[in-house]
């Protein structure tokens, strides 16, 4: 709870909870009962901020909101896509503002069995004032990984991670405290995860905490969980995260972290197919001289990006380059699919025209019997039409996919160029964007500032 | 050009150019010739940053890029939607980073004659370092207004303006200089325009400049322009803008502004159906004591949002409430359309089932003649199927539209609540988000900061 700390009297503690609720009505096992359990847990008032994913029905959000009216009086459901983003936030502190960024890519509409496309996946942001600290909370859910060996959604997930780091980097500049929680559907060392953590300077609560109580290796999808359809490896996998960063005005420490462990006492089944995460964060305000106000040994102000060493920049270049390669693979694939759709569409059109030509023969040679039995004639016509329509829709979809992949690739190319430029100038060039009055200088063509 | 100013020796001047290029290949009049003219104009090197809209073909962007390789060596085309966002930026200064936010709503895919939906309308952001000033340039193009009297796209445009102000407010926190240019398709006092300017604290170059050379009342769509299909009122309308703001570190003045005036000397036709805008901005760095470094009489530091008076907050409450009403109207309309789509779909399904039942009769009573002539039977079947498919797609589309409108409405409700809360506490509560160490305090339920 956001209460003063007896050991660090000027510190504030904050308990953050995150859970993928697996809330597909009528499809997820024990959905209604599990929501009751989740509501009961949250209503105890142990948490300051609760970030939920896969709340697919707004009715369930509304029910939770009603139940949590006294313990977590503020809430927001991020609406997006056909069935919603599934993202929700509850808070003890008034939500000052919310904003949502919908990812450009999120699977394919025709993959009905996976259904991610309909979810309108996004990142939701909520601005909270805690005491007089401006806190930005982000909640997200990235595209699922249905096969680790042949993951056809990898480029989409990498682009999502790219957009996510971009969104957080630019929207969090005024925040003293940044927390990102959610189901990333990525293992800790997966490309998108490294990209996100490194570029947005986010720290992993599980890695940072000195006190962890939960599943082995921090697993959040474990074999012991009976709700789990896709049985993960024996040790479980860690795909849900709470990441955070402070600012030059606020130091942040993860004091402890815990996860549920599959079963819940007094209940026949767990809260979800994922494990729930709880992180206890300690907020220390930094005085003007860069020392936390309670005099404890701090890590110094964490000016975003300004603590980047040459090594970190080089690492970032490597990661972005790797991401770019992955996006290029996706682009190649999407271009192939787009070409196939176009070719099939043309074939359908040719077939339809051919059929019409054949049909015209008996009209021209009056009275001659039709060359086709009428049933197969109409069925073939309907088929051709269906092919035309489907391929036209697919062509539209793939064209948009290509544009989004190209945009991400362009941005990555640009980023690599700028990072390399900074790296070349290291340590003379300032690693963050040069500020008015900062010593960092970069010579740019045509740019003739008064101090150059 | 970004050169030191002889009168204000520490100032930098920046020339910003904006034009809606009306670049629909094969459809826009004299498209290729006009691109040549635009390229020739920009190649003269008079501009520092060029923000273009309606560059619908990437090939045209590539051709411009080639032509401007020496005068404006850096460029980016924002890819989005089926045919691209139409947004492009060219700059003398290296583009450090780009980001793009695609609007949730942008017309209807079936309005082929308007075609906005296919454009993937967005706001593009480019981060530039000018001298050692961090500048964020935004370029956008909002949904067209096809009828002023019966503007069915108004809710979409209002949501676009809402998302635009949100995007700019959050992503510009680190910028010393913010410039937004584009074709807003809104008159100066239209709702979306007021919302954008007031909430994002943007100043209108046309209003601010002491020196203007252009069409009457700043019109950018004028009757004198022969390319103009939709003849505007005699005086012309102002729907293209260059807006800007500085920061506490940088003061910004618009020294002069100009627009083209329909015709171009030595050419048979103008650059576009819109007029081009040029603004000359003077950048004065602010020293620690809040006085511009050249000692000129400045307007004081413009800390974003912090100069909001109670009157301005009340105005903002009114504007957001008005926007919310407009969104509610759109929501009501979208819900009606969604309901109609669902009802028609069900009718199509019933008709199809009925037809199948009738078709089953001769199969059951072997040998009896079919109750339908076969042609009409198959045609009716195809029609039913087509109705089902179309209504299903429309239902999907309207559901997404409803979600986006609901999300915007939720955000607006939240914003009004918070603005009113601030207003109640005025002048005690700080109008901007309270910062660590700032005097502003707000009591929130459950929030127990150490200083409360």
Best residue in A444, A445, A451 for a mutation probing chain B (most B CBs within 10 Å): A444
Q: Which of residues 157-186 of A touch B (CB under 8 A)?
A: 166-167, 170-171, 173-174, 176
Average model confidence (pLDDT) across chain B: 85
Give the per-residue pLDDT at B6.
59
Best residue in B132, B320, B423, B438 for a mutation probing chain A (most A CBs within 10 Å): B132
Q: What is the mean pLDDT of residues B327-353?
A: 95
Residue A57 touches chain B, beta carbons under 8 Å: no
Q: What is the mean pLDDT of residues A4-9?
A: 59
DSSP state of A203: E
Give the per-residue pLDDT at B3.
56
Please say if the pLDDT value at position A66 is more than 60: yes
CA A450 to chain centre: 42
Give the per-residue pLDDT at B449.
34
Please say if the pLDDT value at position A105 is more than 90: yes
Give the per-residue pLDDT at B292.
53
Give the per-residue pLDDT at B250.
92
pLDDT digits (tens, 9 = 90+) for B406-437: 999 999 999 999 999 888 876 543 334 333 33
**What distance in Å separates the CA atoms of residue B123 and residue B164, rounded to the nearest whole number?**
7
Do the chains contact at B435 and A97, CB–CB below 8 Å? no
Burial (CB < 10 A; 0-12, 13-18, 19+), residue B306, is middle
Give the per-residue pLDDT at A84.
85
Distance from CA of B45 to the nearest CA of A (A): 10
The token pair at A280 is 């206890």
Residue A249 touches chain B, beta carbons under 8 Å: yes
Burial readout A145-163 (b: 16 or more C-beta within 10 A, e: otherwise): bbeeeebebbbbbbbbbbb
**What distance in Å separates the CA atoms of residue A375 and residue A385, rounded to the nearest whole number?**
15
B401, B327 Cβ separation under 8 angstroms: no
**Torsion, CA A176, CA A178, CA A179, CA A183, rounded to 10:** 170
Residue A51, strand partner residues: A18, A89
> What's the pTM value of the predicted model, to 2 decimals?
0.88
Long-range contacts made by residues B305-311, C-beta under 8 angstroms, separation at least 24?
A: B305/B201, B305/B431, B305/B432, B305/B433, B306/B430, B306/B431, B306/B432, B308/B431, B308/B432, B309/B431, B310/B423, B310/B426, B310/B427
**What distance in Å separates the CA atoms of residue A336 and residue A332, rounded to the nearest whole number?**
6
Please say if the pLDDT value at position A366 is more than 80: no
Return the percent helix, strand and coil in chain A, to nearest 5. Answer: 35, 20, 40
- Return the axis-axis angle of helices B310-364 and B154-171, rounded to nearest 10°: 130
Least trusted range by pLDDT, from A11-20, A355-364, A401-410, B151-160? A355-364
Residue B363 touches chain A, beta carbons under 8 Å: no
User: How many residues are recorded in chain A?
Assistant: 452
Q: What is the mean pLDDT of residues B310-336?
A: 95
Distance from CA of A280 to the nearest CA of B (A): 15
Q: What is the mean pLDDT of residues A156-170?
A: 96
Q: What is the mean pLDDT of residues B200-212?
A: 96
With contacts defined as CB-CB under 8 Å, which chain B residues touch A385? 382
Give the per-residue pLDDT at A135.
96
Residue A59 touches chain B, beta carbons under 8 Å: no
A103, A81 Cβ separation under 8 angstroms: no
pLDDT digits (tens, 9 = 90+) for A326-345: 999 999 999 999 999 999 99
With contacts defined as CB-CB under 8 Å, which chain B residues touch A445? 73, 92-94
Confidence of residue B401 (pLDDT cuts 50, 70, 90): very high
With contacts defined as CB-CB under 8 Å, which chain A residues touch B249? 435-437
Partner-chain residue, chosen from A98, A167, A407, that has the shortest CB–CB distance to B79: A407
Give the per-residue pLDDT at A441.
35
pLDDT digits (tens, 9 = 90+) for A368-388: 555 555 677 778 888 888 899
Q: Which of residues 67-96 of A touch B (CB under 8 A)?
A: 73, 76-84, 92-96
* Percent of all residues in chain B with a pLDDT value above 70, rounded to a whole number: 85
Do the chains contact at A73 and B446, CB–CB below 8 Å? yes
The CB density around residue B407, as the number of other CB atoms within 10 Å, is 29
Give the per-residue pLDDT at B439.
34
Instruction: Name the more confident of A248 and B293.
Output: A248
Do the chains contact at A134 and B435, CB–CB below 8 Å? yes
Confidence of residue B372 (pLDDT cuts 50, 70, 90): low
Burial readout A375-395 (b: 16 or more C-beta within 10 A, e: otherwise): eebbebbeebbebbbbbebbb
Please say if the pLDDT value at position B109 is more than 60: yes
With contacts defined as CB-CB under 8 Å, which chain A residues touch B80? 104, 403-404, 407
**Torsion, CA A406, CA A407, CA A412, CA A414, rounded to 10:** 110
Instruction: Name the more confident of B286 and A3.
Output: B286
pLDDT digits (tens, 9 = 90+) for B285-315: 887 665 555 444 333 323 334 456 888 899 9
Phi and psi torsions of A262, nearest 5°: 95, -65
Q: Which of residues 393-432 of B touch A (CB under 8 A)?
A: 396, 399-400, 403-404, 406-407, 410-411, 414-415, 418, 421
Do the chains contact at B437 and A102, CB–CB below 8 Å? no
Q: What is the mean pLDDT of residues A405-414?
A: 95
pLDDT digits (tens, 9 = 90+) for B23-32: 998 888 999 9
**What distance in Å separates the CA atoms of residue B367 and residue B369, rounded to the nearest whole number?**
6
Mark whether B274 is an active-site residue: yes
CA nearest neighbour of A270 among A26, A59, A41: A41
Q: What is the mean pLDDT of residues A53-62?
A: 95
CA nearest neighbour of A92 among A61, A126, A141, A140: A126
Distance from CA of B130 to the nearest CA of A (A): 6
Do the chains contact at A403 and B92, CB–CB below 8 Å? no
With contacts defined as CB-CB under 8 Å, which chain A residues touch B95? 414
**What distance in Å separates the CA atoms of residue B229 and residue B221, rounded to the nearest whole number?**
10
Give the per-residue pLDDT at B308.
67
The token pair at A200 is 């947005």
pLDDT digits (tens, 9 = 90+) for A416-441: 999 998 888 765 433 343 333 333 33
**Torsion, CA B344, CA B345, CA B346, CA B348, rounded to 10:** 90
Average model confidence (pLDDT) across chain A: 85
**What distance in Å separates the CA atoms of residue A181 and residue B242, rounded to the nearest whole number?**
38
Give the per-residue pLDDT at A426.
62
């Amino acid at each position: 709870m956001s209460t003063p700390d007896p050991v660090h009297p000027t510190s504030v503690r904050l308990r953050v909870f995150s859970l993928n609720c697996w809330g597909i009505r009528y499809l997820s096992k024990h959905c209604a009962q599990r929501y009751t359990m989740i509501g009961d847990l949250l209503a105890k008032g142990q948490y300051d901020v609760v970030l939920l994913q896969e709340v697919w029905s707004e009715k369930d959000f509304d029910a939770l909101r009603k139940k949590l009216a006294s313990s977590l009086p503020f809430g927001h459901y991020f609406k997006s896509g056909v069935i919603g983003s599934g993202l929700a936030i509850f808070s003890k502190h008034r939500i000052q503002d919310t904003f949502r960024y919908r990812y450009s890519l999120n699977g394919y509409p025709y993959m009905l069995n996976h259904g991610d496309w309909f979810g309108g996946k996004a990142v939701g942001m909520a601005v909270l004032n805690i005491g007089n600290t401006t806190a930005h909370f982000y909640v997200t859910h990235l595209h699922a990984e249905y096969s680790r060996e042949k993951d056809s959604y990898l480029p989409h997930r990498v682009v999502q991670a790219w957009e996510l780091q971009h969104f957080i980097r630019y929207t969090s500049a005024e925040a003293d405290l940044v927390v990102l929680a959610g189901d990333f559907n990525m293992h800790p060392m997966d490309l998108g995860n490294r990209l996100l953590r490194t570029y947005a300077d986010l720290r992993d609560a599980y890695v940072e905490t000195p006190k962890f109580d939960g599943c082995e290796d921090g697993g959040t999808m474990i074999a012991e969980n009976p709700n789990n359809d896709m049985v993960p490896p024996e040790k479980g996998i860690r795909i849900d995260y709470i990441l955070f960063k402070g600012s030059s005005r606020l130091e942040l420490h993860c004091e402890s972290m815990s996860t549920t462990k599959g079963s819940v006492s007094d209940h026949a089944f767990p809260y979800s197919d994922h494990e729930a995460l709880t992180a206890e964060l300690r907020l220390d305000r930094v005085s003007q001289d860069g020392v936390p106000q309670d005099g404890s040994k701090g890590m110094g102000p964490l000016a975003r990006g300004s603590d980047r060493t040459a090594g970190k920049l080089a690492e970032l270049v490597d990661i972005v380059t790797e991401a770019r390669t992955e996006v290029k693979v996706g682009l190649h694939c999407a271009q192939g699919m787009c070409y196939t759709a176009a070719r099939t569409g043309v074939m359908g059109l040719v077939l339809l025209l051919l059929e019409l030509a054949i049909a015209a023969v008996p009209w021209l040679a009056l009275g001659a019997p039709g060359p086709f039995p009428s049933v197969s004639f109409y069925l073939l016509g309907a088929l051709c039409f269906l092919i035309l329509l489907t391929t036209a829709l697919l062509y539209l979809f793939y064209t948009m996919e290509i544009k989004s992949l190209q945009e991400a690739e362009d941005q990555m190319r640009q980023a690599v160029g700028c990072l390399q430029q900074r790296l070349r100038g290291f340590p003379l060039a300032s690693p963050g964007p040069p500020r008015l009055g900062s010593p960092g200088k970069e010579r740019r063509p045509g740019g003739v500032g008064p101090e150059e």
